[in-house]
Amino acid sequence: MTWLMAGAPAGRLNAVRLLTIGYALVWIAVRTDHWHDLSRLPVSRWEPVGIVNSVGFDSTTAVTIVVVLTFAVGVAALGNVAWSISAPLFAIGFLWLTSFGASWGQILHTEHLLVLHLLVLAASPAGRGASATAGWPLKVMSAVTVATYFVAGVAKLRFGGGLDWLAGDGLLRLVAHDNLRKRLLGDAWSPISPFAVGHPLIFQVGAWVTLLVELGAPLALLGRRWAYTWIALAWTFHLAVLGLMAVLFPYPLFGVAFASMLPVERLFAWRPAGLVDRVRGYKRVDGDARSGLRP
């Protein structure tokens, strides 16, 4: 409990709020056409999951309405307007949109971590200025991030052949099958995969590193140096996935997924004194705006 309720550097929570909500708004803009395309599929493909199972709507008009309303409250939350209302509504709207995207027979996990982070932020004092409890949302967001990687590692051991995964054969077959399927279907595939599959040692090392990153994720909660080391390994892992499988995980690759564990308040240290402080939720500490910049 002491770890959870520990304080946080001034401005960090609000910096994380800006980055996370800003990213989510861009994601909505990018994915709207995809959601519209899904809404035009035959109803026989409709397999509602999560919140969509309770609150349906599979028409293009309904999707457009949810997109517009969610984007609007997201802009309000980004601007720290009626945070206690706009933040929960944005998180719920984003949850509905991503659940809708997963209700057509293909469940992608690339958006799930972002949804969980938005839900944590919605319950936090992120948009309410300085707070003695500003540390717990960052801790919870970090724990959620770590948990998603750890669960993925456990799943590999449980469903990926157990310790046989470490031989690298399963990873090699996964990469080869994924790229071949994409090439046959005319989808984007990795041009370096033919070379890689001819060198099994690459996948033996990759299998070990994958489990190290995923099962070792809880070590990131032990301190700053542990966190920075793990983040570097996790980011490199996602870069390797992009190179070998043409699979993009934008949330971690852009670094936003790890923002709660990084001194991201420094990104906003350049602002002119007093400018949009209300929007960003900053509050000077002891009259010195620099006092909150130490990680």
Residue pLDDT, tens place only, 63-99 = 999 999 999 999 999 999 999 999 999 999 999 999 9
Residue pointed to by tokens 């969610």: 70
The closest alpha carbon to 11, from 225, 295, 275, 228, belongs to 295
The closest alpha carbon to 271, from 75, 15, 26, 21, belongs to 15
Secondary structure E strands in the chain: none
Token duo for residue 93: 């709207």
Say which residues have a Cβ less than 8 Å from residue 72's Cβ, sequence separation at least 6. none
Give the angle 173-176-180 at the CA atoms, nearest 5°.
140
Confirm whether pTM is higher than 0.75: yes
Maximum Cα interatomic distance, the chain, rounded to a whole number of Å: 63
Give 256's DSSP letter. Answer: G
The closest alpha carbon to 4, from 280, 260, 234, 262, belongs to 260
Say which residues have a Cβ less than 8 Å from residue 232's Cβ, sequence separation at least 6. none
pLDDT at 289: 40
pLDDT at 102: 87
pLDDT at 48: 83
Query: Domain boundaries in the chain?
Result: 1-133+265-295, 142-262
The strand pairing partners of 288, in sequence order, are 285
Q: What is the DSSP string of 180-232?
A: HHHHHHT----TTHHHHTT-HHHHHHHHHHHHHHHHTGGGGGG-HHHHHHHHH
Do 200 and 175 form a contact (C-beta atoms < 8 A)?
A: no
Query: Backbone phi, then psi, for 8, in 5-degree steps?
Result: -135, 155
Token duo for residue 144: 């959620």
State the DSSP H helix or E strand holding residue 235, giving kind and residue range, or none if neither: helix 224-245
Instruction: Spell out, as residue ranges, where the chain has pLDDT lower than 70.
Output: 1-7, 54-58, 127-133, 270-295
pLDDT at 285: 43
Residue pointed to by tokens 């997924």: 257
